[in-house]
């Protein structure tokens, strides 16, 4: 392999070391990553990206492992990104994931990467989405992205997936919890894992009912699939449901659906960077503080600040009309 070649050039040649290195660059927010990703961009979009999310311990890694085995039997190559939650619930999941998925790692048709969250939500979302892009560009047929679905930050990660599989299991953290966390809203496929355990039937029925009640207007009817990844039961049906969702999206406009997700990615990235630039060092914090000292109202300060910002986007003279910044001005 040509040592002088760029990482993206080496990746295109099938160099797995380059693949691993590029994901590390994404993880470390290395400034060189953007250029490499831009070079790879024309190659991105061929893989089917499957996001697997759900509460801690629901069996996501076990399902991913079994899904990867079945996909390999079907001669599909598989790239896997597992986001380690570093959660207080499960601790040490990184090592656990590695061990459980280990039998896959000797197969050149599989690439597994664990990423640690280290508490940086937005950064991790972007890095794991970028890892999916890199695996896609490398040429994997399927990219599986495992994340723990517990909060808003994970939704960014889901913007990177074509099909979102939400894995639940009976017992603690079951359907009510899932509804609270908004997990049902993001699901394209719902899985009741640990179907071998008591309470699985009830959870399944609850979810079928919940999806009927909530999603009457949606074109895609979210299937609820029973599985027991631990005993290799039902994972074929999960993959079948994913394929049906894929067929549905392809028939109803995949490009538009993917563009909508990319738009959300841009929106999240810009919001985050803007918040940081405004309120971090060199931002407006001190100016706002001194205006408050001078007696200005928070509403007036916010309205003035927004007008200034929006003038850059819409041109001078644009009015700031946020719902709560310009209303009820106080003296
Ligand atoms: N009874 C039963 N146990 C299962 C099944 N699938 C997974 N498990 C067990 O559930 C535990 C958690 O499985 P994981 O696959 O690590 O779950 P996870 O959702 O990836 O967990 P985190 O990544 O830590 O959030 C392990 O002890 C598995 O062996 C199943 O179908 N039935
Ligand atoms: Mg896991």
What's the pLDDT at 318?
57
Say which residue, 62 or 4, is predicted with more confidence. Answer: 62
- Say if domain 45-252 classifies as CATH 1.10.10.10: no
| Token representation of residue 102 | 């280990």
Quote the percentage of the chain above a pLDDT of 90.
56
Nearest-atom number in ligand 1 for the CA of 90 is: 24
Read off the pLDDT band of 234 (50, 70, 90). Answer: very high
Q: 233-239: long-range contacts (C-beta < 8 A, 24 or more apart)?
A: 233/195, 233/196, 234/191, 234/195, 235/63, 235/66, 235/67, 235/70, 236/70, 238/63, 238/67, 238/165, 238/189, 238/191, 239/67, 239/70, 239/71
90 lines ligand 1 (CB under 6 A): yes
- Under 8 Å between Cβ of 163 and 144: no
Tell me the per-residue pLDDT of 111-161, one tens digit each, with 9 for 90 and over: 988 887 654 455 677 888 899 999 999 999 999 999 877 655 566 667 889
- Residue 8 Cα, ligand 2 centroid: separation in angstroms? 29
Which pLDDT does position 101 carry in this prediction? 56
- Picking from 47, 102, 97, 114, the residue whose alpha carbon sits closest to that of residue 69 is 102
Give the pLDDT band of residue 177 (cuts 50, 70, 90). low
Of the two residues 271 and 284, the one the predictor is more confident about is 284
- Report the pLDDT value the prediction gives residue 37, as an integer from 0 to 100: 95
Q: Where are the alpha helices (DSSP H) in the chain?
A: 7-12, 16-27, 33-40, 60-73, 93-105, 121-138, 152-158, 175-180, 183-186, 200-214, 235-252, 254-279, 285-293, 298-314
Q: Which of 203, 210, 130, 135 is nearest to 169 (CA)?
A: 203
What separation in Å is there between the alpha carbon of 91 and the centre of ligand 2? 10
Tokens at residue 63, please?
């399902």
Is the pLDDT reported for residue 204 higher than 50?
A: yes
Domain boundaries defined on the chain: 45-252
**Pair 174, 148: CB distance under 8 Å:** no
Q: What's the CA-to-centroid distance between 85 and ligand 2, angstroms? A: 8
Query: What band does 54 get if pLDDT is binned at 50, 70 and 90?
Result: confident
Q: Let me know: does 49 contact 177? Beta carbons within 8 Å.
A: no
Tens of pLDDT, residues 18-37: 999 999 999 888 999 999 99
Residue 178 pLDDT exceeds 90 = no
CA distance 76 to 104: 13
CA of 171: how far to CAs of 179, 187, 192, 330, in Å? 14, 20, 11, 51
Q: Left (φ > 0), alpha (ψ -120 to 50) or beta: where does 241 sit?
A: alpha
Three-state SS string across 90-138, please?
Answer: CCCHHHHHHHHHHHHHCCCCEEEEEEECCCCHHHHHHHHHHHHHHHHHH
* Ligand 1 close to Cβ of residue 230 (< 6 A): yes
DSSP 228: B
* Predicted model pTM: 0.85
Distance in Å, CA 146 to ligand 2 centroid:
7
Residue 309, beta-bridge partner list: none
Sign of CA dihedral 319, 322, 328, 331: negative
Closest residue CA from atom 7 of ligand 1: 59
Task: Count Cβ atoms within 10 A of the Cβ of residue 53 and give its class: 0-12 exposed, 13-18 middle, 19 or more buried.
Answer: buried
Can you spell out the DSSP letters for 182-200?
A: THHHH-SEEEE--TTSTTH
297-306 pLDDT, tens digit per residue, is: 999 999 999 9
């Amino acid at each position: 392999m040509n040592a002088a070649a760029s990482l993206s050039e080496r990746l295109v040649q099938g160099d797995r070391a380059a693949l691993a290195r590029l994901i590390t660059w994404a993880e470390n927010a290395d400034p060189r990553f953007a250029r490499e990703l831009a070079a790879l961009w024309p190659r991105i979009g061929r893989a089917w990206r499957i996001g697997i999310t759900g509460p801690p311990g629901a069996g996501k890694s076990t399902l991913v492992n079994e899904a990867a085995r079945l996909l390999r039997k079907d001669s599909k190559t598989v790239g896997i990104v597992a986001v380690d939650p570093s959660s207080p619930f499960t601790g040490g999941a990184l090592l656990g994931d590695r061990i459980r998925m280990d039998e896959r790692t000797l197969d050149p048709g599989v690439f597994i990467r664990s990423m640690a969250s280290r508490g940086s939500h937005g950064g991790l979302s972007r890095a794991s989405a970028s890892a999916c892009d890199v695996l896609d560009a490398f040429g994997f047929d399927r990219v599986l992205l495992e994340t723990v679905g517990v909060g808003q930050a994970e939704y960014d990660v889901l913007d990177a997936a074509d099909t979102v599989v939400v894995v639940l299991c009976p017992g603690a953290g079951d359907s009510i919890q899932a509804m609270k966390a908004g997990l049902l809203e993001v699901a394209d496929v719902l899985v009741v894992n640990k179907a071998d355990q008591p309470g699985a039937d009830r959870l399944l029925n609850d979810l079928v009912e919940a999806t009927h009640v909530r999603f009457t207007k949606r074109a895609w009817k979210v299937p609820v699939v029973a599985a027991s990844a631990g005993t290799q039961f039902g994972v074929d049906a999960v993959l079948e449901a994913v394929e049906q969702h894929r067929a549905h999206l392809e028939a109803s406009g995949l490009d538009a659906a993917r563009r909508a997700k990319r738009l959300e990615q841009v929106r999240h990235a810009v919001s985050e960077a803007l918040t940081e630039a405004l309120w971090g060092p060199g931002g407006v914090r001190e100016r706002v503080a001194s205006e408050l000292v001078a007696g200005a109202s928070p509403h007036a300060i916010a309205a003035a600040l927004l007008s200034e910002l929006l003038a850059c986007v819409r041109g001078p003279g644009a009015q700031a009309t946020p719902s709560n910044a310009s209303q009820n001005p106080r003296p």
